Every structure is written in structure tokens, then in C-alpha cells.
């Protein structure tokens, strides 16, 4: 099992200190080679769930394992190490660094784990070529369209071949053709490389290609 989560709970604090309960005990397992789609209405907690699993935010309760390691209770530095080595996260809002070119944004992942620069650069440009953004390699994020930024963010997330890929609406800004390229890539990551892929999406064609489709409903994950 690449990912296992048990009893994840999260309540935010809203204006005036009012509690905003979002997750009420989420259980989840994703195996290597499995593509799991997660749907749910806007505000149902899909991004919150990915943030907990991606170790960007601590759950109020519950446990998370990546591979054999219980990562939910590690310290910040150790969690950073796990994120860099094992998790690729495609953010809903891209989160590209404004001062770096598209290529350098993609290469950030490699720099972080100290990978050989020439090797990483070759890989990065190959990926960017497949995603149709290689011709924008030297552009800054502000000089890219939303869909181009999204594809660059995808390249950054998968460059290090993480065992777990978390993709939050990775086709949200894309036309059908480019959406299909990303879905094909995610599918191939799971099928050919044994990656565990968790995909938040509203696209029915994306869910149709998933091995399992789950839905966030009232703070819990249910089969869809
Ligand atoms: N930092 C925060 N403080 C307070 N409330 C928050 C915070 N982050 C998220 N929320 C609330 O948690 C709920 C779930 O948010 P989340 O972003 O996880 O939804 P989502 O399912 O990803 O929605 P969408 O499909 O629109 O992206 C929302 O109602 C939101 O207002
Ligand atoms: Mg969201």
C-alpha cells in the first residue's frame, strides 16, 4: 500500500471563531498502480483532504502512512523529506514561483533532493515537450496562460518520479485535448510505473478512466 489514511478529521476556525467542520473521519487506501478519482461538490473538502495527505497541514485527528512509514506523527523536517522524496502535488492554484522561469520551476523539485542537474534538465525538457510547454521553458509564470501554468505545475510535480501523486483538478484550466494529455500521463504513471495517483476531478471522462471513484460526502469518503 502506498497510501493509507485512517480517521482523518479537520475542523477550521471561521470568522468570529466559529468552527467550520470539514472532514469527519476519512479512511482511504491507495495501492501502487492505482488511479483513484475523488469528486464532491465545491467546498466539500477535497483540497483540504489532499493538503492533509500531502503533509501540508496537520489533521486534528487520524493517521497517515506513506509506504511503511507512519508520516502523520513525524516532525516538520522529516515530513519535508517525505514530501520531497515520495509525494508529487499538483496544486489547484499551481503555486509556481513568480521569479523563476517555467523550466526552473520544474527543476525546483530536483534541486530540492540534490539530483544531478543535467540529468534533471533532460528529464524536465522531455516532460515539458510531452505536455506542450517546452517552447515556453524560459518564460516566467506571468508570461504563461493559465493552462500553460497548469501543465508546468504538473511537470514539476512528477519530475522526481514520486510514488504518490496528488492532483487537485489538474485539468481545470485546460481544453479537452490538453486535458486528455494530462489524463493519459496520470494513467500511464499508474499503469506503467506503479505510481499511486489520487485525482480530484469533476470531469466524467477522468472518472471513467479511474480504477475507483470516491466521493466526499458530509466529511466522509464514500464509493461513488
Ligand atoms: N484555512 C481555512 N479556514 C477556514 N475555513 C477553511 C479554510 N480552508 C478551507 N476552509 C473551508 O473548508 C471547506 C472545504 O474547502 P476545500 O478547499 O477543501 O473545498 P473543495 O472541495 O476543494 O472545493 P472546490 O471544489 O471549490 O475546490 C470550505 O467550506 C472552506 O470554506
Ligand atoms: Mg479544491
Encode the chain (224 residues) as per-residue pLDDT tens digits. Answer: 999 999 999 999 999 999 999 999 999 999 999 999 999 999 999 999 999 999 999 999 999 999 999 999 999 999 999 999 999 999 988 999 999 999 999 999 898 888 899 999 999 999 999 999 999 999 999 999 999 999 999 999 999 999 999 999 999 889 998 899 999 999 999 999 999 999 999 877 778 889 999 999 999 999 98
Looking at residue 80, its pLDDT comes to 93
Terminal CA-CA length for the chain:
21
Are 87 and 55 contacting, i.e. CB atoms less than 8 angstroms apart?
yes
Distance, CA 205 to ligand 2 centroid (Å)?
A: 19
Are 35 and 210 contacting, i.e. CB atoms less than 8 angstroms apart?
yes
Looking at residue 189, its pLDDT comes to 96
Distance, CA 48 to ligand 1 centroid (Å)?
A: 6
Looking at residue 112, its pLDDT comes to 81
Rounded Cα–Cα distance for residues 89 and 76 (Å): 17
- Which residue matches cell numbers 525546483? 108
Looking at ligand 1, which residue's alpha carbon is closest to its atom 3?
A: 12
* Residue of 47, 49, 214, 218 to test ligand 1 pocket, by largest number of atoms within 8 Å of CB: 47
What CA–CA distances, in Å, run from 63 to 11, 69, 70? Answer: 16, 11, 7
* Residue of 10, 14, 15, 20 to test ligand 1 pocket, by largest number of atoms within 8 Å of CB: 20
Rounded Cα–Cα distance for residues 39 and 215 (Å): 5
Look at strands 87-90 and 164-168 and give their pairing.
parallel
Looking at residue 204, its pLDDT comes to 78
Looking at residue 211, its pLDDT comes to 95
What CA–CA distances, in Å, run from 181 to 33, 131, 150? Answer: 18, 7, 12
Looking at residue 105, its pLDDT comes to 97
Looking at residue 196, its pLDDT comes to 98
Distance, CA 23 to ligand 2 centroid (Å)?
A: 13
Paired with 198 in beta bridges are 36, 166
Looking at residue 114, its pLDDT comes to 86
What CA–CA distances, in Å, run from 167 to 50, 112, 118, 139? Answer: 8, 20, 27, 23
Distance, CA 63 to ligand 1 centroid (Å)?
A: 21
Whether CATH 3.40.50.300 fits 3-95+160-223: yes
Distance, CA 52 to ligand 2 centroid (Å)?
A: 13
Pocket of ligand 1 (CB under 6 A): 12, 14, 20, 22, 40, 42-48, 92
Amino acid at each position: 500500500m502506498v497510501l493509507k489514511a485512517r480517521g482523518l478529521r479537520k475542523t477550521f476556525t471561521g470568522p468570529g471563531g466559529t468552527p467550520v467542520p470539514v472532514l469527519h473521519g476519512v479512511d482511504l487506501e491507495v495501492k501502487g498502480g492505482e488511479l483513484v478519482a475523488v469528486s464532491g461538490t465545491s467546498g466539500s473538502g477535497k483540497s483540504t483532504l489532499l493538503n492533509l495527505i500531502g503533509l501540508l497541514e496537520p489533521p486534528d485527528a487520524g493517521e497517515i502512512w506513506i509506504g511503511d512509514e507512519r508520516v502523520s506523527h513525524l516532525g516538520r523536517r522529516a515530513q519535508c523529506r517525505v514530501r520531497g522524496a515520495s509525494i508529487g502535488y499538483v496544486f489547484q492554484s499551481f503555486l509556481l514561483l513568480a521569479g523563476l522561469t517555467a523550466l526552473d520551476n520544474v527543476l525546483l523539485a530536483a534541486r530540492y533532493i540534490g539530483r544531478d542537474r543535467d540529468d534533471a534538465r533532460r528529464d524536465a525538457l522531455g516532460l515539458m515537450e510531452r505536455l506542450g510547454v517546452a517552447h515556453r521553458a524560459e518564460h516566467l509564470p506571468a508570461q504563461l496562460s493559465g493552462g500553460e501554468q497548469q501543465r508546468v505545475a504538473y511537470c514539476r510535480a512528477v519530475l522526481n518520479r514520486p510514488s504518490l501523486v496528488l492532483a487537485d483538478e489538474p485539468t481545470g484550466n485546460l481544453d479537452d485535448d490538453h486535458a486528455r494529455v494530462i489524463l493519459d500521463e496520470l494513467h500511464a504513471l499508474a499503469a506503467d510505473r506503479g505510481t499511486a495517483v489520487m485525482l480530484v476531478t469533476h470531469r466524467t471522462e477522468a472518472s471513467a478512466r479511474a480504477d475507483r471513484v470516491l466521493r466526499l460526502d458530509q466529511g466522509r469518503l464514500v464509493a461513488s
